[in-house]
Amino acid sequence: MKTALITGVTGQDGSYLAELLLQKGYAVHGLLRRASTENTSRIDHLSGRVTLHYGDVTDSLSVLNVVESVRPDELYNLAAQSHVYTSFAVPEYTAQADALGILRVLEAVRLPGLDCRIYQASTSELFGDAAQSPQNESTPFSPRSPYAIAKQYAYWTVRCYREAYGIFAVNGILFNHESERRSELFVTRKITKAAADFAFGRDEPLRLGNLDALRDWGYAPDYVECMWRMLQQNTPEDFVAATGEQHSVREFCRLAFARAGVDLRWQGEGLDAVGMDGKSGKILVTVDPAFYRPLEVSSLLGDAEKARRLLGWVPKVGFEELVNRMTDHDLSHKTRSKDAELFYKDS
């Protein structure tokens, strides 16, 4: 039986990866950070099957201790402050977790001389203001946030330790992937929750930022399969994972609202854009500059040809199915959205 350790096991990807590895017969361990509120809701259904260890990727001693006691065959470093907008508010913490976290992990494997394969959660945000489209493994980086800059440090650290010490460590350069377990701080879930809220009588409009942002959105369970495949190769290499399809925030909204029974019609541009109910004319979506970032990444589109060729990986869930799954989930769970991002307006 192989043993895997997942940092970030309580997150969207960590929870799906834990399920996948359990299915494959792994002994699964997870690094859990202490929180004053309950933070295990995504993995509570795996209780007793995943062994949890308290630790934090900003704390070297805890990382060393957990890695030494678990002695994993595979380590997936998913822990991160993963919200791009928030990284402008907490840049130093973001660097501690997202840049130095993997350094601590690599040293925890290198110092005791463990034979352990390491996956690093790299990101399409590295491409930022990319000069070419679509982006693949050889596209130059142009990061545009403290988050992306921290992840760039992590990316090069992985390559350095691979080449300097022969450690099997890889970067998975993953484009956006979403699911029913996505936090409401990200635009997709914010939209699907709001679309369902309108079906339950929400009155106030949904407030969004840049409606014209373009992303390559896939389904998270497909992407954790790709992570696992990257660690089963004979030689360590970095891979892009993406769907190869690009859609706008506007388009995401239109499909989610349609799934919830609303014919959303757009009018106007920029700050004046509004989304109206095609039947009643009521304004359901407005633009609020509070959700504009200090620097925006306006367009990302991935080319995952290498992953298809060498890993045999092809994402199964397409854009429309993704939107439908997320919206259906929110329609079937009648809980009003908390408008989680409201604090940006107030702070």
Sheet of 27-32: strand order equals 50-54, 27-32, 3-7, 74-77, 117-123, 169-174, 239-241
Q: Could you count the other beta carbons within 10 Å of the beta carbon of residue 174?
A: 25
Q: Tell me whether residue 117 or residue 177 sits nearer to ligand NAP (CB atom).
A: 177
79 interacts with ligand NAP by CB under 6 A = yes
Does the annotation count 123 as an active-site position?
yes
Q: Is the dihedral of CA 187, 192, 198, 201 positive or negative?
A: negative
Is the CB of residue 153 less than 8 Å from the CB of residue 102? Answer: no
171 is an interface residue for ligand NAP by CB under 6 A: no
Q: To 5 degrees, how large is the angle CA 257–CA 261–CA 266?
A: 40
Q: Which of 125, 178, 184, 341 is catalytic?
A: 125
Q: At what angle do helices 249-259 and 187-199 cross, to 10 degrees?
A: 30
Could you tell me which residues come within 8 angstroms of residue 57 by beta carbon, excluding any fewer than 6 positions away? 7, 31, 63, 77, 79, 80, 97, 100, 101, 104, 105
Closest alpha carbon to 129 in 305, 304, 302, 295: 295
> Does the annotation mark 321 as catalytic?
no
Among residues 245 and 277, whose Cβ is nearest to ligand NAP?
Answer: 245
Q: How many residues bind ligand G4F (CB under 6 A)?
A: 25
74 catalytic? Reply is no
Pairing relationship of beta strands 117-123 and 206-208 according to DSSP bridges? unpaired
Residue 342 CB neighbour total at 10 angstroms: 12
| Closer CB to ligand NAP, 215 or 276, in the complex | 215
For the window 17-56, what string marks contact with ligand NAP as x by the rule CB under 6 A? --------------x-x-x---x----------------x
Which of ligand NAP, ligand G4F, none has residue 7 at its interface (CB below 5 to 8 Å by kind)? ligand NAP
Interface segment toward ligand G4F; rule CB under 6 A; list 15-23, 71-79, 82-90, 273-281: 82-90
Tokens of 23: 């299915």
Nearer to ligand NAP (CB atom), residue 79 or residue 276: 79
Q: In the complex, which residues of this chain contact ligand G4F (CB under 6 A)?
A: 82, 84-85, 123-125, 175-176, 185-188, 190, 208-210, 213, 215, 249, 291, 293, 296-297, 300, 341
Catalytic residues: 123, 125, 147
Q: In the complex, which residues of this chain contact ligand NAP (CB under 6 A)?
A: 7-8, 10-14, 31, 33, 35, 39, 56-58, 78-82, 97, 121, 123, 174, 176-177, 183
